[in-house]
Amino acid sequence: MTRPAAFLKYAGSKRASVEPIIAALLGSRDPRAYDGLYVEPFFGSGAVFFALRARGYQGHAYLNDVNARLMQLYLTLRDDLEELLAVHDAMPWGPGWEGEYARIRQEFNEKNERSGHVALVVDTQQAARFLWLNKSCFNGLYRENKAGEFNVPVGRYAKLTKQDPDDLRAASKALQNTTITSYDFRVLLDRADGPHRRILRGGVVVYADPPYVALTETSDFASYASGGFSTDDQRALALAAIEAARQGARVVLSNHDTPFVRDELYPTSKGFEHIASLQVKRAINSKADKRGAVAEILVAIGALP
Ligand SMILES: C[S@@+](CC[C@H](N)C(=O)[O-])C[C@H]1O[C@@H](n2cnc3c(N)ncnc32)[C@H](O)[C@@H]1O
């Protein structure tokens, strides 16, 4: 049996650093012995969630990302695996694929699930386009223009490789027993009248991996969905984490390791633990010479489950 793992190429994927993150979430507890809720408001490629499942976590998970097309892909993978595999297989993977790129990207953009849109539906055609674009676009980036259109250019590949069907099967199985949504993170974490109120309480763990604070004013390669992520958003997330911890949840957060992040966003004086500073290799950067190691900090607040 293939073990579940993140299968998308994704800017900011935590595939390479899941161990310290899982330890920060659960302490010494074995994921097999934890059956509380797991909440991931910035899901992306879901590296930490899939790693938890691979290690035997079987509880219910709330998976959310503001990118509705992305979450619709996971919903479709969860609920209509066999049809998605068939449609995925029929995409143009062979020679001449470059000539199909503009058309498929346009079809993808004609679907109007805008970021933050809540009504996700199973759509195997659109999910297969997402999988194909992830393999064929430049560096596997996901970026939108102001109108919410995916605008990454075609990648330079001699040939395309399909997603491995066994990886997709394993991911589909892992996605059972989950609630999949596309909201702004505030809806999940701090809106008292939100649809998920009362999910944050003792025994719940949250892993929040937002778009990072910029290291320089021009480093915007990880801009993701059309709205961007401002300093106000960073501050709102820090406040939401404090509030979630007050309600009993354990919240672990990642960001760049900068004085602003350490001392202003997540100060120890407000109850944040600075768990580790990790050197993370950046697999995705539009400038190859900038793909070096960057320091990331892992912080936590709230009681261990
Ligand atoms: C650093 S990535 C997460 C990567 C993920 N941990 C992984 O392993 O692939 C940040 C994610 O936050 C999402 N995002 C951006 N703004 C958001 C918001 N306001 N609310 C929820 N998600 C948001 C982006 O679409 C992106 O997928």
Q: pLDDT tens-digit profile of 44-93?
A: 999 999 999 999 999 999 999 999 999 999 999 999 999 999 999 999 99
Report whether pLDDT(167) > 90. yes
Which residue, by CA, sits nearest to atom 26 of ligand 1? 44
Which residue, by CA, sits nearest to atom 8 of ligand 1? 13
Q: What is the pLDDT of residue 288?
A: 47
Report whether pLDDT(116) > 80. no
Q: What is the pLDDT of residue 190?
A: 63
Helix (H, G, I), strand (E, B) or coil at 166: helix
The secondary structure of residue 2, as a DSSP letter, is P
Q: How far is the CA of 55 from the centre of ligand 1 (A)?
A: 23
Which residue, by CA, sits nearest to atom 23 of ligand 1? 66
Q: How far is the CA of 65 from the centre of ligand 1 (A)?
A: 6
Q: How far apart are CA 6 and CA 50, in angstroms?
A: 6
Q: What is the pLDDT of residue 198?
A: 65
For the entire predicted model, the pTM comes to 0.92
Lining ligand 1 with CB less than 6 A are 6, 10, 12-14, 41-42, 44-45, 47, 65-67, 184-185, 209-211, 224-225, 229, 233
Q: How far is the CA of 291 from the centre of ligand 1 (A)?
A: 20
Q: What is the pLDDT of residue 276?
A: 85
Which residue, by CA, sits nearest to atom 17 of ligand 1? 66
Q: How far apart are CA 274 and CA 8, in angstroms?
A: 29
Q: How far apart are CA 40 and CA 5, in angstroms?
A: 15
For residue 163, give the nearest of 30, 73, 44, 102 by alpha carbon. Answer: 73
Helix (H, G, I), strand (E, B) or coil at 68: helix
- Token pair in block for residue 92: 């143009």
Q: How far is the CA of 95 from the centre of ligand 1 (A)?
A: 33
Q: How far apart are CA 133 and CA 257, in angstroms?
A: 32
15-83+166-301, CATH topology level: Rossmann fold (3.40.50)
Report whether pLDDT(204) > 80. yes
Give the pLDDT band of residue 158 (cuts 50, 70, 90): very high
From the alpha carbon of 41, which atom of ligand 1 is closest? Answer: 21
Q: How far apart are CA 187 and CA 193, in angstroms?
A: 9
For residue 111, give the nearest of 70, 141, 82 by alpha carbon. Answer: 70
Residues composing the chain: 305
Q: What is the pLDDT of residue 220?
A: 47
Q: How far is the CA of 3 from the centre of ligand 1 (A)?
A: 24
- Token pair in block for residue 195: 């649809």
**CA atoms within a 13 Å half-sphere pointing along the CA-CB vector of 271:** 15
Q: How far is the CA of 165 from the centre of ligand 1 (A)?
A: 25
Q: How far is the CA of 234 from the centre of ligand 1 (A)?
A: 12
From the alpha carbon of 227, which atom of ligand 1 is closest? Answer: 16
In whole numbers, what is the pLDDT of the chain averaged over residues? 89
Which residue, by CA, sits nearest to atom 7 of ligand 1? 13
